[in-house]
Amino acid sequence: MEKFPLKGTGNISSSNNLSISSAATNHPLSGDHPSYQSVGSKPGKGSPASSAERHITTTTSLTTAPGTVGAVPVYEADEDGMIDITPGNGGLTNPNYSYSSYSANGGRQDGVGAPSSAANSSAPSITTTAGASSNGGASIGGGEGPGGMSSPTHTRFGRDFHHSDHEDTLTVSFSGKMEGISFAGMTDTSDDIPGIGQYEDFHTIDWQRDIARDRMRHRYIVKKRQDSFWDLLKGAHDAWSGWVCVLLVGLFTGCVAGVIDIGASWMTDLKFGICPQAFWLNREQCCWSSNETSFDSGNCSQWYAWSEIFTSSREGFGAYVISYFFYIMWAMLFALLAASLVRMFAPYACGSGIPEIKTILSGFIIRSYLGKWTLIIKSVGIMLSVSAGLSLGKEGPMVHIASCIGNILSYLFPKYGRNEAKKREILSAAAAAGVSVAFGAPIGGVLFSLEEVSYYFPLKTLWRSFFCALIAAFILRSINPFGNEHSVLFYVEYNKPWIFFELVPFIGLGIIGGIIATLFIKANLWWCRFRKYSKLGQYPVTEVLIVTFITAVIAYPNPYTRMNTSELIYLLFSQCGISNQDPLCDYNRNFTDVNSAIEIAAAGPGVYKAVWLLILALAMKLIMTIFTFGMKVPCGLFIPSLALGAITGRIVGIAMEQLAYNYPKIWIFSGECSTGDDCITPGLYAMVGAAAVLGGVTRMTVSLVVIMFELTGGVRYIVPLMAAAMASKWVGDALGRQGIYDAHIALNGYPFLDSKDEFQHTTLAADVMQPKRNETLAVITQDSMTVDDIETLLKETEHNGYPVVVSKENQYLVGFVLRRDLNLALANARRIIDGITGQSLVIFTSAQPVQNLGPSPLKLKKILDMAPITVTDQTPMETVVDMFRKLGLRQTLVTHNGRLLGVITKKDVLRHVKQMDNEDPNTVLFN
C-alpha cells in the first residue's frame, strides 16, 4: 500500500506511547536535539467539555394501535444517516439525507458521558405514535433494537441529539407545518475516552472542529441557565470567564515585566560598579540618596566603580584596565548563566519567540513552548542576556513571556484550557499585553497582535486584547521601573514642527532602512542555516560565550556601544539642551538667556568625533546582531533594530542641520531657517530612522507607526513616520519577500500558511492530493474491518487520520477519523470492555450488525467526524489554499462523483506552494 502523508510524520502506537518523527526530533527546538536535554511535559489534562446540541423529536399525526403499523410506512434507517450504496439498506428511500434515531438509555449516541453498559435509569423513553419501538442504547458493545425513522439531525460529528428529562417536543404534521418548537439540552460531561479531542505535539489543530465543539457547549449552557440558580451562575461565569482570564493575564504580565526591567537595570549597572551601602540598588537609585547637585557621567560619591574599589581611582590606565576586565568578566558570567539555564531546563526559552508564537496562533501545537519552565527560564534568561551587553533586546521575548502567562492561566478556565482554538483568543490578547509592557504602548500592542502575530482575530478578541494591554500597561506604570513620570521607554518632547521638504530625507531614511534590514535578514538567515547544519549547532553554550567575549571586547572602548542600548537610543532621540553634556551636543552655542530659543549653530569637534564613533557603532551592532539573533539565549530584535536606525537617522539629521546652518536662505528650507532658530531636529531623524529599520526587518506598518509615537510621545510626527515605514516596506519587499519572523518560520519548517500571500498558480486539487492517481489509498471501511486490521493499518502507515468509506469496492465517503482518537479508542476498549478481541469487528455505524458467532463488535461512531470538508478533484488550488487559510483546515478530502480519491493536508499545500515558487518542498518538516 502506498503511503500518503496525511498529517505529518507523528506516530502513535496502540499502547498510547507517543513518538515524534525524526524531522521533529532533529529540529533545533526539539527537546531531543543533541544540543539540549529534553524537558518533559505533561499531556493535556482531559478533553474539551462535551458540547451541546439541539434535539428535535417528531410525532406523526396518525395514531395506530401499539405494535401495529399504520397507513404511514415506517422505515428502518441507520442512526448515523451514513450513505450506504450496498443493497439492503433497510428501506431507506433517500440515502443522501441524514436521519438519526434516539437512545432509549438517555446517553448520547456518541457515548459522551454514557456508561459502558446500556442501562441508564434516568433516561426518558421516546415513543412515536406510528408504533415504532424505541431504540436501544448506543454505548460501546451495547445492543440496539430496531429503530424508527426520526427527523434529521445536523451535526458535524458522530454525535446525535438526545433527550433530557426537561425537554419538550417539536410536533410536525405530515403537511410539514410546525405546531410548536423547543430544544433539548445535552449532558455536559466529558468523553468517556480520556484524551479524545486533544492533539499531539507538532500537529495542526482543526479550527472548525474546535469551534463547533465550543458552540455546542455554549448552547447547552444557555439552555441550562433556566433550570436553577446554580446553572444561572455557571452561565454567568462562562460569559465573563474570558474577561477575567485576560484581566489576570494583564496583571501578571505587568508584574513580570516590572521585575524584568528592574533586574536587567541592576545587573547591567553591576558590570560598571556597585553601591556598597545597598548593593541591590542600581546606579541611578544609589545616587538618589546623594546630596550632590551634579554627577560626572552619571557617577556619584555613593556609587563605586570597580576600579575605584581596587585602586581608589577612577582615572588612569590601571583603572581603565580593571574596569575593562570586570566588564568582560560580568558579561561572560551572565551569558554563561543564561545559556546554561536554557540548555538544562527550558530549550524552548531561546530566541525571540515571535516566529513560534505566530505559528502557534495559526493553529500549530508545540508542547512546552508556552509552559511554566519556559516562562521562568525566559524571564531570568532575558535579564541575563541583556545585562551581558549582547546586541539584543528584551521586547520581543516579552511577547513570548506574556503568551506563556496566557497559556498557563487559560487552564484555570476549561472553556479555554480544553479548547485549542478558543485558547488562541487568550494568546492573541497576551501577545498584545507583551508589546504593551515592552514599550509602554498599549494601542500599538493591540495593533501588533492584529497585524503581525494573530491568525484569527475576531472582534471580541480585539476588545479583550485592548483590555489586557490596558491592564498590563497600568500595572507596569504603577511599578514604575524606569523611575520617571512616563510609562514609555524613550519619552521625547520636540517643540519644532517639521518642514515639508524634510519628507525627502525622511523617505530617504526609509530606503536606507529597507536596505540595512534586507542585508541583516539575508546575513542572519545564512548564519542560522550554517549553525543548523554544521557542528557549531552542537555547542550552543560555547557559541554564546565566544560571541559574548567578542562583543564585550569590541564594545567597551566605544562609549556608544558600551552603554545600554536603550540608553543609547534615548540619547539619539533627545534634543541638545543646556544640560546635555554629551559630545553629540558640542555645538558652538552661547547659552546666555535660558528662556530664549535654541539657536542654530555650527557643529564643534565633539560632534564630528561623535559621528565617527556612531558610524563604528553602527557597523559593530549590525555585524554582532547578525551573529547574536538565533543563539541559544533569549534574544529580541526590536531594540537592536531601533538602535541601528536611530544611529543612521541621527547622522543624517546632523548633516541636514549643518546644511541648514550653512545655507539657510535656499528654497528647500522655505525661509524657516533664516530666523536663526534651530529649525532642524536631529533627534526626529533618529526616531524616523529607527522606525524605518524596524519596519524593514519586521515588515510592520500600521502597528509600527503607532508604537513609535506611543514610544516617544511625538504624535505630531505621524506623517514622517508613515512615509519612512512605507518606503522601508516597499524597499524590503522589493529586495526580499519575507520579514525576519516569516523567514525564521520557513527556516524551521513550521507549517505556517501566511494569509497575506497570494496563490497565483493554475493547478487543481487532483495535482496536489495524496496519493496520486492509480495509487492505493489507505482507508477504513465502516463495518467490515476487525481490530487486528485496524492495528495493522496503524502500524504500516504513519498518516494522522483515515477516511472512512462504505467498503473497499464502493469507496463512497462516510467520514474521517483521526489516528490519535483511533488509538485511544482501541486502547480504552481493550482495557474496560469484556469480549473485545483482535477478531472483533470495528463498526462506525449505529446500525446493529448481523448477528454471528464471533466476538462482540466495537462501535466507534463517537470518534467519527461525519462532516469532513471535501472538495472535488477539479477544484482550483487557489480555492483550496483559501479554504486552508480562512477556515483553518487540517486536511480536506478529495472526491470525484462522490467517490473518495485522496486527501490534501496543510503540509501538502505548503509543499506545493514551495514547489510552485521553485523552492525546496522538503523544508516543510511538520504538519
Q: Which of 695, 718, 748 is the last residue of a domain?
A: 748
What local confidence, expressed as pLDDT, does residue 591 receive? 58
d(CA 506, CA 728): 10
pLDDT of residue 853: 66
Check whether 50 has a pLDDT greater than 70: no
> What is the tally of structural domains in the chain?
3
The residues pairing with 237 across neighbouring beta strands, listed in sequence order, are: none
Cα 499 from Cα 669, distance rounded (Å): 7
Q: Cα separation of 161 and 149, whole Å? A: 14
Q: Over 531-580, what HEC string results?
A: HHHCHHHHCHHHHHHHHHHHHHHHHCCCHHHHCCHHHHHHHHHCCCCCCC
Q: Does residue 92 form part of some domain? A: no
Q: Are residues 632 and 552 in the same domain?
A: yes
Question: Are residue 715 and residue 817 in the same domain, yes or no?
Answer: no
Q: Tell me the pLDDT tens digit for each residue of 322-362.
A: 999 999 999 999 999 999 999 999 999 998 999 999 999 98
696 and 514 Cβ atoms separated by less than 8 Å: yes
Using 50, 70 and 90 to split pLDDT, how confident is the model at 491? confident
Is residue 569 domain-shared with residue 681, that is, in the same domain?
A: yes
Q: Are residues 734 and 804 in the same domain?
A: no
Q: How far apart are CA 100 and CA 82, in angstroms?
A: 10
Residues 774 and 740 grouped into a single domain: no
Residue of 647, 728, 650 lying closest to 693 (CA atoms): 728
Strand partners, 677: 599
Say how far apart CA 860 and CA 862 lie, in whole Å: 5
Burial of 835 (0-12, 13-18, 19+ CB in 10 A): exposed
Within this chain, do residues 826 and 904 fall inside the same structural domain, yes or no?
Answer: yes
Are the C-beta atoms of 866 and 812 separated by less than 8 Å? no
Output the pLDDT for position 441: 87
pLDDT at residue 616 greater than cutoff 50: yes
Instruction: Give 169-209 pLDDT, tens digit per residue.
Output: 333 333 333 333 333 333 333 346 777 778 888 888 888 88
Asked if residue 189 is part of any domain, the answer here is no
User: Where does a domain end: 719, 748, 777?
Assistant: 748
**Does residue 324 fall inside a structural domain?**
no
The last residue of one of the domains, among 700, 716, 748, is 748
Establish if 489 belongs to a structural domain: no
> Are 725 and 778 found together in one domain?
no
> Does residue 796 lie in a domain region?
yes
| Same domain membership, residue 859 and residue 798 | yes
Going by pLDDT thresholds of 50, 70 and 90, the confidence category of residue 615 is: very high
Q: How far apart are the C-alpha atoms of 410 and 395, rounded to whole Å?
A: 23
- Name residue 902's beta-bridge partners: 894
Residue 12 has pLDDT above 50, yes or no: no
CATH code for the domain in which residue 405 is found:
1.10.3080.10
Query: Are residues 828 and 693 part of one domain?
Result: no
353 contacts: CB under 8 Å, gap ≥ 6 = 378, 396, 397, 399, 400, 401, 403, 634
Residue 24 inside a domain? The answer is: no
For 769-815, write each residue's pLDDT tens digit: 988 767 788 899 988 888 999 999 999 888 888 999 998 888 889 99
725 and 650 in one domain? yes
Beta 11-12 vs 858-859: how paired, if at all?
A: unpaired
Neighbours of 318 (CB within 10 A): 12
Does residue 117 surpass a pLDDT of 60? Answer: no
Residue numbers of the domain that contains 407: 243-271+330-479
If one compares 851 and 811, the residue with the highest pLDDT of the two is 811
**pLDDT higher at 162 or 735:** 735
Cα–Cα dist 78/235, whole Å:
35
The reply to whether 472 and 373 lie within a common domain is yes
pTM comes to 0.77
In a domain, 450, yes or no: yes
Do 421 and 523 belong to one domain?
Answer: no
The answer to the question of residue 235 being in a domain is: no
